[in-house]
Amino acid sequence: MKTKELAKAIRKILASSDLETLSRKMVRKQLETQFGESMEEHKAFINAQITQIIEEQDDNDDDDEVDESDDEAPPAKKAKVSKAKAAPKKRAPKKEGGGGGGFASEMVLSPELAAVLGVEKSSRPQLVKKMWDYIRENGLQDPNDKRTILLDDTLKGVFKRDSFTMFSMNKFLKRHVKKESELTGNGWDDIPRDGESSEEDEAKTAEKERKKAVKAARKTAAKSEKGEKPKRAAPAPNTGINAPLELSKELTELLGESVLSRPQVVKRLWVYIKENGLQNPENKQEIKCNELLTKLFGESTVTMFSMNKLLKPHFLGKAKVEVKAAPAAAAAASEEESGSDGADSDDGASDDE
């Protein structure tokens, strides 16, 4: 998948969504629905794109406020006209208790991070923006690789390390922000943040990656010795997102099969939608349902994002799949059977003689 396509799709999702309730996980699910594949391997890129786009939006909002204040000119004097003022619109009160996992929900910063940034509470996008402001003001980006941040003594005191990348920064920031409801007892004193714990995490990850690389190298070497071309590892069958599911009667009638995995269902639905020209030409995210889709979803119009939710009732649970014998084992079994048959016939011949 091209990163340009992915970045464009992320920008569209953020533009048409409420950032108060949207989370990174929700963005990834929408992308999986749109592209019909898992986004796990693109997780770091998606998170970085989300942060970048939100930063751009914040910068644009700040610029707009400045422009508006500059453009304001003293109004010309006019004759007073008494008009009844419209009642001011009341905003819905914010929910208490730190609910939701949206980008805009306020989080409590650790004392050491609060001392650096000058705020005790902040939303995640604002926190990342303040971090980047600090990094740029102090020239902490590696001149040879702008993605690497070389921490000064102040940030070293917070994160207990010499550097991190723009992609791993969120991982280390996460240790220093909590919902207010999560701070109990002695508050931050009871919560491990950085130092040995995070170094151990990195060491474990590095060791896992090393073992994985060694295993892959051995497999490739073994295949090259046999003269076989190395094949790409297939996704694990019958597990996770690839697990086969029992489909409802309506979905079976539409797709022609009663057992499919989620990605397969989404992919075949999009083929059906495109073949029947059911996308709204003015808004491709909107699907105008024909008779079969209306029967399936119970609505005449759905969006590419709500479709996933409407499909849930049609997944009736994991399907039972019979484990088939491997081809080599089956062949060996058949050879043994034929061999035993031959032996029996020879014995019969000797008896006749």
d(CA 73, CA 70): 8
Lowest mean pLDDT among 9-23, 148-162, 219-233, 252-266: 219-233
> Containing domain of residue 21, as a range?
3-57
Angle between helices 124-137 and 43-71 (to 10 degrees): 80
The reply to whether 228 falls in a domain is no
Q: Which helix (H) or strand (E) holds 148?
A: strand 145-150
3-class state of residue 239 by DSSP: coil
- Residue of 130, 135, 134, 172 whose CA lies nearest to 150: 135
d(CA 306, CA 300): 13
The reply to whether 288 falls in a domain is yes
Residue 344 backbone phi and psi in degrees, to 5: -60, -40
Q: Tell me the CA distances in angstroms from 73 to 62, 65, 76, one per residue in order.
A: 20, 15, 9
pLDDT exceeds cutoff 70 at 231: no
- How many domains does the structure of the chain reveal? 3
pLDDT exceeds cutoff 70 at 341: no
Of residues 35 and 224, more confidence is placed in: 35
pLDDT exceeds cutoff 60 at 32: yes
Q: Give the pLDDT band of residue 230 (cuts 50, 70, 90).
A: low
Name the amino acid, one letter, at 185. G
- Residue of 41, 11, 39, 5 whose CA lies nearest to 25: 39
The reply to whether 328 falls in a domain is no
The reply to whether 29 falls in a domain is yes
The reply to whether 218 falls in a domain is no
Q: Quick one: pLDDT at residue 152?
A: 92
When pLDDT is averaged across residues 80-103 and rounded to a whole number, the result is 51
- Residue of 157, 169, 133, 190 whose CA lies nearest to 47: 169
**Cα dihedral 74→77→80→84 (10° resolution):** -20
Last residue of a domain, one of 57, 76, 97: 57
Q: Round the average pLDDT of the chain to a whole number and report it.
A: 75
Q: Quick one: pLDDT at residue 236?
A: 57
Lowest mean pLDDT among 196-205, 217-226, 271-280, 301-310: 196-205
The reply to whether 48 falls in a domain is yes
Same domain, 179 and 110: yes
The reply to whether 65 falls in a domain is no
Q: Are 209 and 215 in contact (CB under 8 A)?
A: no
What is the torsional sign of CA 191, 195, 201, 202? positive
The reply to whether 87 falls in a domain is no
Residue with tokens 């209306």: 294
pLDDT digits (tens, 9 = 90+) for 151-192: 999 998 888 888 888 888 888 888 888 888 888 777 887 777
Q: Which CATH number covers residue 251?
A: 1.10.245.10
